A and B are shown apart, each in its own frame.
Chain A
């Protein structure tokens, strides 16, 4: 089979679809009107701040254009913070994926009636304040916290988790897991039961059906989930502050500190670097799937 031609075909079809879609939206004036408040919102709270960051990042206090804010990333401390942030975000994303995919599969298989209940349990913690949840983990993991109290009651050796990268990963996984489960679950439930039946009918066993049908069809959800976990994990400074103590510094913490000290130029410059990493990772992801739901969201 001619593979390159095949890929080209797919791309052409996708491009045509996108074209049709834009045409449709362009034609409807009503939709334009309805989107007006949203456009103002975008301009005021997304576009303008972005340009401000761009401006501050590329200038110094004397309003001269400079790259020194950007090159600050090569400072060993900043470099270490960025690498650690990338590492922890990656680990958290992988753990989230490994936990979320089987859970989403189970949800798909289980009865529809129980599903809303399980999904509710998943979402319930999200109704609590993000800070509160993370501080709760701090209380659990502390040297004299809930976990160690229980362990010592059972005469087991106590654990020293708080203020380690492990604690941060734990906090990230706990906070961001629902963002991985829901998009995957969403694509899985949309797979027609008869498509799976058809694979079985054509001779595929359970494992082959998963590998050749279910997994490929769920990739858009996986990509969406990865983006929704990786990006906030990479940029967080709250989780690392609360669970990592003062010794573990992520790039998010560095940027936050700069802004707090009034160094808008440095903070913005480092933010721009971080943004490049995010865009890069998303470009890699979207290469894997052109029709990823993630790219619609972001």
Chain B
């Protein structure tokens, strides 16, 4: 990844009739980056991707590609290729003809095309499928053909719209690795859309968390997971304890009536904030060793760990731990200062709109 801004979206707005889908969106994608647009259904991920691909025109704003404004170019004039959510293979053509489609349009030689077909099928592990018809392939195979069809054109950027959405868990995980391998082998930029936070965390260099057409946070998977900027991001990325609290002073936060030491500064004195504590960051200890005490109210075995709910200070704390504490036990809750993530409360109306209903 370099710092070169390959694609730059500037002040993009898009509305369908009354519904505003994107409002003044700004985002840049660097060369060779694996960037993921992550957000709940209907938040505008596909619309963003379509604007980059040229299938939708923004009402306002510009799409800059390598320094040039491509907002008004048709899809066939843009140096990027798309893998569509529902594959969109050409069912009246064989697999080989599907893959060759873009190359034939560009009038490449027969030899070149045949080599490319072989190469692409090998890349997606479907050698020998040349003469099959798309509807004789499984969903996962069709998906890989859709990817092969896009990459033979050697695009600078590959747009992928929930490409693994229709696959079962096992196949999805396999394909995640294959996609990462592909990207490394090809050395191109991926813009990836998903609403699956795990997928986003596994695959991306950069995650863009969106909600209702607004970008909530842009950052590396670690940033997004460990330092969510607001309650929405914290809640969307994995299980967490999100609690409205008060910042008493620098490095002290009052959670549910008890002061906890933390590491954040600069929020001011007695300011309302949201805090997030990941369930695996809560230590359950003997009652006398905890900062607060509570009682275990539920216990579920999750395979890797136990998931427990602890009622303490009137809040049900979600805890992941490899140690087992039976239901009804009195336990102490301890949190390391750096595991408490402090977030600003939403202030403006825009932000309010994206706050969680809990």
On A, residues with C-beta under 8 Å from B are 1-2, 5-6, 9-10, 13, 192, 194-195, 197-205, 208, 212-213, 216-217
Contact = CB atoms under 8 A, between A and B. Distances in A.
Given A9-B133, A197-B55, A202-B153, A208 B88 contact: no
A1 B130 contact: yes
Contacts of A208: 105
A166 B92 CA distance: 38
B82 A197 contact: yes
A227 to B, nearest CB: 20
A205 B88 contact: no
**Chain B interface category by residue count:** 20 to 34
A217 B92 contact: yes
A9 B131 contact: yes
B149 interface: yes
Contact of B53 (A5, A9, A201): A201
B48 to A, nearest CB: 15
A9 B136 CA distance: 11
Interface string B177-212: 000000000000000000000000000000000000
A194 B84 contact: yes
Nearest to B161: A194
A197 B84 contact: yes
27 contacts: A1-B96, A1-B97, A6-B94, A6-B131, A9-B131, A13-B136, A192-B86, A197-B53, A197-B55, A197-B88, A198-B82, A198-B89, A199-B90, A199-B101, A200-B76, A201-B53, A201-B75, A201-B81, A201-B82, A202-B105, A203-B76, A203-B102, A204-B105, A205-B76, A212-B101, A213-B90, A217-B91
Nearest to B100: A1
A229 B89 CA distance: 32
B302 interface: no
A167 to B, nearest CB: 40
A198 B84 contact: yes
A202 B101 contact: yes
3 cross-chain pairs, A with B, having the tightest CB-CB distances, nearest first: A202-B102, A194-B88, A198-B88
A204 B74 CA distance: 10
Contacts of B75: 197, 200-201
A246 to B, nearest CB: 49
Contacts of A198: 82, 84, 88-90, 149
A12 to B, nearest CB: 10
Contact of B133 (A13, A204, A216): A13
Given A203-B76, A205-B76, 6 more contacts: A13-B133, A194-B85, A198-B89, A200-B76, A203-B105, A204-B101
Nearest to A192: B88
B134 to A, nearest CB: 11
Contacts of A202: 76, 81, 101-102, 105, 149-150, 153
Given A192-B86, A201-B82, A202-B105, A216 B92 contact: yes
Interface in B46-99: 53-55, 74-76, 81-82, 84-86, 88-92, 94, 96-97
Given A2-B131, A9-B131, A10-B133, A203 B86 contact: no
Nearest to A200: B75
A217 to B, nearest CB: 6
Contacts of A9: 94, 131-133
A203 B105 CA distance: 7
Contacts of B90: 195, 198-199, 213
Contacts, number: 75
B170 interface: no
A194 B76 contact: no
A1 B100 CA distance: 11
A182 B86 CA distance: 27
A192 B91 CA distance: 11
A192 B90 CA distance: 10
A202 B88 CA distance: 12
Contacts of B76: 200-205
A217 B75 CA distance: 21
A57 B21 CA distance: 70
Nearest to A6: B131
Interface in B103-128: 105-106, 114
Most buried by B among A10, A194, A204: A194
B164 to A, nearest CB: 17
Contact of B131 (A5, A197, A200): A5
Contacts of B106: 203
A195 B101 CA distance: 12
Contacts of A1: 96-97, 114, 130-131
Contacts of B101: 199, 202, 204, 212
A13 B132 CA distance: 9
A200 B74 contact: yes
Interface in B284-330: none
A213 B133 CA distance: 15
A195 B230 CA distance: 39
A199 B102 CA distance: 8
A202 B132 CA distance: 21
A13 B137 CA distance: 12
Contacts of B89: 195, 198
Contacts of B150: 201-202
B189 to A, nearest CB: 16
A216 B94 CA distance: 13
Contacts of A13: 133, 136
Contact of A195 (B88, B94, B102, B133): B88
B179 to A, nearest CB: 18
A164 B55 CA distance: 51
A221 to B, nearest CB: 13
Nearest to B74: A200
A142 B120 CA distance: 67
B168 to A, nearest CB: 22
Contacts of B96: 1
A197 B90 CA distance: 11
